[in-house]
Structure 1
Amino acid sequence: MAPEEDRALIKDLEGHATRAAELGFDAIFLPDHHFNGYMPIASDSYMFAAYLAAKLPQMYFGFSITSVPLHHPVRFVERINILDQLTDGKLLVGVGSGTTPEEMIGFGVNYQDAGAIADRNLAIAEQLWAKGVEDPAVEIDNGPYKGRVLQRIAPAAYTPRHARLMPVAMKETSARRAAENGWPAFIPAFTPPVIGGTEPLKHVTKHFTAYRTMLEAAGHAPEIVADALSWSTHTYQVVHLAETDEQARTELLEILTSYQEAIEREAAFNARAETDGANKKTDRTPNALTEDWIGTWCLYGSPETVIEHLKPYAALGIGNILCGTTTGPLTAERLRYADQTLELLSTRVMPALRDAA
């Protein structure tokens, strides 16, 4: 959490990402968070992705997720286009409205306005991606973001239109945006107002079925549908494997205890950010040590247990599983657990699921 630890954290994350690439993982997903200290690269994960892309050209890079209200639409589009070019189109840009008042106020955004600013920023981004040099100027007037773009965004995108965005298929409007554009989506394992529980597959099935129905009805070419489904993503915030279920559970609780301590530290700063009604957070993150949170957000156990857990998701048609392997303060022991998980996923879980497919 201290400034003198930032460099070591950055280098450890670089090493962990490199190890994942060596072990046959398909993509590296990065978050977008600011001020909180627990992952220094998250303050500019696009820059970190560009650095990794030069070292790991075979990898796809994703963002889970970009808090759209925290980015000027011009910079949002420019940076995505540069990464789209540098990765030869191997880019998956998760988009959302953000989660914490502390981050919002640092960028001059009121927390209650975040959803509306995100929607408008995405609409402006589409205008910027479509704009030619001689087209009328794109006028920007969206909360803290102002501007007038006269020429075009440079560089142009590598991907036709622009890199794939990945909305969260929670609301019908978000699921439809992904489906109608032929984009993959993040598939939630809960349904608000409850954000935890012990039946995640029920919620994943509901959200994924709705998204898939819209995608298949949108009239895309079969290869576009297949690509979108192959990257449809179910996320586990904490993934931990060990040789036995008992060992995995014991080590998971160690990880979650440290994680919860970090969450409580952040809660104190968010409380300081909630100075008025415009920045009041209406929901609270459940305690990570509860069975409801573990049931929704954690994947753990022996390789055999994890394989059995994931089989119904594979049968449903989920194409991608996003594994949070470094959640929580990244101590030397936490990094050892993370590398242990990578090894077991790569050598025993992934081959079994690929054979089944």
Structure 2
Amino acid sequence: MRFSVFLNARTMRPEDDRQLMKDLETHALRAGDLGFSAIFMPDHHFNGYMPVASDSFIFAAYLAAKMPQMHFGFSVVSVPLHHPVRLAERINILDHITEGKLLVGIGSGTTPEEMIGFGVNYKDAGAISDRNLELAEALWAKAMEDPAIEIDNGPHQGRVLQRIAPAPFTSGHARLMPVAMKETSAQRAATHGWPAFIPAFTPPRIGGTEPFVHVKKFFDIYRDKLTAAGHSDEVVASALDWTTHTYQCVHVAESDDQAREELEVILRAYQAAVEREAEFNARAESNAENTKTDRTPNALTEDWIGTWCLYGSPETVIEHLTPYKELGIGNVLCGTTTGPLTEERLRLGNQTLDLVSRKVMPALA
């Protein structure tokens, strides 16, 4: 079982943006030194969510130059917000910089406020995402002499006569990682021999205190499709090795009581940030084209904690993760900087890195 770090921190004020970027750099370097397998970043915009997430390709490239041994990933790229040419080009460049150690999570986005900032109606996000991925595949495959590729997909327009450059480092292109929540997404990952993100809930209900039930359901569907796709044993093993289950917030302390007490401090700050963002999302949902179909529970509810959090002493965390390892989950993605990144929050995140590295990894890795 691999362990990776999710750099999902936020700021509450513009004057904190630069310090957050420096702190995340230091945190990522620490994770590399402690033996974590990958650094993942989100792809989000506006709302004061995360300064580096507005172009996490740039931040990943910056870190990759400092950490040549590290894998890098995205959880996840909001595909409708990217012109397919720029998406394919950026993935190829980062594929070269990391020498193939790239995992590109793909999804259709989460909030109307992000969509309207890029001229996308929220209700069209899924269709635009699917078409963008089709166009990206065509662009990756296009040779100089092939017919032009016409792009007419919502706000994304264009006509590509030549090939894109650079060519991919990885054969075909870098690995994509669909969120295996829908039949089509699980099949896309399985057909290509890619890893997948395995969620712990079933929409429209985001939450629940039995996450393993959902993880097993989605993992079994994906694994069955992967093994039926006719790949070599090596391709199947590589895909499962990086198949990822994500925790929005991971917090480890010396005791369960300490971990829970510190977790609640983290989540109170996180919830305050979410509530501020909700005000802007409400403005974006002013018409039927941009209305969300699901609602995220308050982060301090047991539903949310049960789905999105992993916390406790090292022994408790090992006990919790053992069934996931036995199921076949290859990579645990740990949100170690969830919420506004204060000096105290960074200390707690570093505490988690140290305890996972010293006590959890040896038992499960």
TM norm structure 2 = 0.96
2:351 pairs with 340, 343, 348, which one?
A: 340
**CA-CA distance at 1:339 after TM superposition:** 0.2
Please state whether the residue corresponding to 2:339 is helix, strand or coil: coil
1:106 pairs with 92, 105, 117, which one?
A: 117
1:268 pairs with 263, 266, 279, which one?
A: 279
Structure 2: distance between partners of 1:334 and 1:241: 13
Question: Do 2:206 and 2:295's aligned partners in 1 also have CA atoms closer than 8 Å?
Answer: no
2:54 pairs with 25, 43, 47, which one?
A: 43
Structure 1: distance between partners of 2:201 and 2:290: 24
Segments of 4+ moved more than 6 angstroms: none
Question: Do 2:100 and 2:169's aligned partners in 1 also have CA atoms closer than 8 Å?
Answer: yes
Structure 2: distance between partners of 1:223 and 1:87: 21
Partner of 1:286: 297
Please state whether the residue corresponding to 2:219 is helix, strand or coil: helix
Instruction: Please show how residues 12-161 of structure 1 align to structure 2 within 5 Å.
Output: 12-161=23-172
Structure 1: distance between partners of 2:152 and 2:49: 33
Matched AA of 1:165: L
Partner of 2:8: none
**CA-CA distance at 1:33 after TM superposition:** 0.5
**CA-CA distance at 1:38 after TM superposition:** 3.1
Please state whether the residue corresponding to 2:340 is helix, strand or coil: coil
**CA-CA distance at 1:193 after TM superposition:** 2.1
Structure 2: distance between partners of 1:77 and 1:58: 23
Partner of 1:206: 217
Structure 2: distance between partners of 1:86 and 1:293: 37
- Alignment coverage as a number of residue pairs: 354
Partner of 1:10: 21
Structure 1: distance between partners of 2:212 and 2:133: 30
Structure with greater contact order relative to length (CA < 8 Å, sep ≥ 6): 2
* Identity in percent: 76
**CA-CA distance at 1:31 after TM superposition:** 0.2
Please state whether the residue corresponding to 1:29 is helix, strand or coil: strand
Partner of 2:247: 236
Structure 2: distance between partners of 1:319 and 1:268: 37
2:208 pairs with 193, 197, 207, which one?
A: 197
Q: Over the residues paired in the alignment, what is the CA RMSD in angstroms?
A: 0.6
**CA-CA distance at 1:283 after TM superposition:** 1.5
Structure 2: distance between partners of 1:81 and 1:184: 18
1:219 pairs with 207, 222, 230, which one?
A: 230
Structure 1: distance between partners of 2:342 and 2:328: 36
Q: Any stretches of 5+ residues in structure 1 without a counterpart?
A: none
Structure 2: distance between partners of 1:187 and 1:227: 16
Please state whether the residue corresponding to 1:186 is helix, strand or coil: coil
